[in-house]
Amino acid sequence: MKKLLIVTTNYSGCKDDSENCIKETGVYLEEFAIPYLIFEKSNIDMTLASPKGGLSPIDETSMSCSNPMEWDRCIKILRDTKKLNTINLEEFDGVYFPGGHGPMFDLTDNPDVIKTVEYFFKEGKLVSAICHGVCALIDAKHGAFPLIKGRRLTSFTDEEERIVKKKELVPFLLETKLRELGAIFEAEKPWAEHVVADKNLITGQNQNSAALIAEKMIEFLKPSP
């Protein structure tokens, strides 16, 4: 049985009265629930972790009465994550970072996240992220260089950030940052299903890519004979 570590956010939004911040955020439910259920059907053993452990809040914009009822179980799972620095990374075959705006605030400049990404890259194991979850990759290095330098990838685009009116509220624009670090950024039109696979690095552009990225991850973890 393949083992997958899923690392998500603890950040729920700013607590002050400033207008220049995101009041309520977290993990985007679709980007966790859809892959989780697909992995489950593929007999992949999953462990969910976050920087602090405990509750991983859900982005309110991803909560809807139209969401499938089977996602309710995923909501409960997000209430009790393990603390990332207690995880034995050697036990896992890959790592996945779901998105939502939350990761932009606590999965960057985080030594435990950096250690996690660098370990899986170094070992040639699966490193995967979707949407804003790709921000978890930006601080990892190979020697003196960013790990993503020269690697093909995608993420939530600057144009999509503008459309959702969060361009002035995020700490940085993710697409811009990835390009600055030397990544080969590949984008499709806003909200298009889009996944980029570059060896052991698999990334998705937005929530509409959740099912496809899960399928690509399974192809990497459990290749056809």
pLDDT, residue 168, reads 93
pLDDT, residue 111, reads 98
pLDDT, residue 173, reads 98
- Classified by CATH at the fold level, domain 3-221 comes out as Rossmann fold (3.40.50)
Pick from 149, 146, 163: nearest CA to 205:
163
| Residues of the chain below pLDDT 50 | none
pLDDT, residue 177, reads 98
Convert the pLDDT of each residue in 60-90 to its tens digit. 999 998 999 999 999 999 999 999 999 999 9
Distance of CA 67 to the CA centre of its chain: 20
Convert the pLDDT of each residue in 152-165 to its tens digit. 999 999 999 999 99
